[in-house]
Amino acid sequence: METDALNSAIRTLLRPLVRILLRNGVPFRAFMEEAKRVFVNVALDEFSMEKRKPSHSRASVLTGLTRKEVARLAALGDEAEPSTQKSYNRAAWVISGWVRDKRYHDARGRPASLQVEDGPKSFAELVRKHSGDMPVRAVLDELERVGAVRRLRDGRVQLVSREYVPRTGEREKLGILGTDVRALISTIDHNLTHPPEESFLQLKVEYDNLTEESVPRLREQSRKKARKLLEELDRSFARHDRDTNPAVVGTGRKRIMLGVYYHEEDWGEDGEDE
């Protein structure tokens, strides 16, 4: 039955999430409260009757919660972008702009070392152009903290990593959980509800009987090839992005992304993760 398959999928995808919750001291009751809040918001935002305003009564029927509970949770609203998630997005945008925007490249076409404040090709100008409303000093401090940039003796800032991955503590890393996992599950949802010719890209390669000795080489190969692909696509996407290229003409405002992840784990003799 489809319900059995869905329940099995829910248990499977919840295992790593529950592991994160328990490690961070989040009990079931707190998770349940957040889950109810999302159920209510999705019911009101996406499952209202056609040409009718969202109603608490219908949300109550869909979610199985009382009307009183629906009203309470609806009043809380859908929380805006958390500050940690906003910081992650803005910092990543600055690195991406530095890599793809030729105005911030050197004569060899590589990201140039930039003066922090002086001139139209400074780090400050890069931040203002690619990070929205984030303060220049806050972005610089964050990129220094995670090891993405370093200060040179002459005061300039040099990009040393094209990847923004928070390296200290889990607070910033948890912000990525909401953005990246949401995108993957939304892609799967789209493919479940649309015909094959309208499906989104959803591919993976997987082997479960590899030797311990082969893994380091395959891990590094995966990293290099994935980075090369994403850098190539980043340049292509940027040519059509109106923030990067104001001359682009067209209608609407679409958001697209392509994510690549690598995972490895020990695999038991019975074909299950240990």
Domain contains 195:
no
CA distance 5 to 2: 5
Same-domain check for residues 75 and 106: no
Same-domain check for residues 207 and 269: yes
CATH of the domain at 154: 1.10.10
Model pLDDT, residue 80 = 47
Domain edge (last residue) among 25, 47, 79? 79
- Residue 110: give the domain boundaries: 83-159
* C-alpha closest to that of 185 among 14, 36, 43, 2: 14
- Condensed to tens digits (0 to 9), the pLDDT of residues 52-84 reads 788 899 999 999 999 999 999 999 876 644 554
Average pLDDT over residues 235-248: 85
pTM over 0.75: no
CA 67 to chain centre: 34
Residue 25 phi, psi (nearest 5): 70, 25
Domain contains 44:
yes
Model pLDDT, residue 243 = 79
Domain contains 63:
yes
Domain contains 263:
yes
Average pLDDT over residues 197-221: 95
CA distance 218 to 116: 39
Domain contains 106:
yes
Of the candidate ranges 87-101, 144-158, 166-180, 220-234, the one whose mean pLDDT is the lowest: 166-180
* Percent of the chain clearing pLDDT 90 (strictly above): 49
Domain contains 111:
yes
Same-domain check for residues 74 and 103: no
Q: Structurally, how many domains does the chain consist of? A: 3
- What value does the mean pLDDT of the chain take? 85
Domain edge (last residue) among 27, 54, 79? 79
Domain contains 48:
yes
Domain contains 194:
no
Does residue 5 or residue 272 have the better pLDDT?
5
Same-domain check for residues 70 and 104: no
CA distance 170 to 88: 12
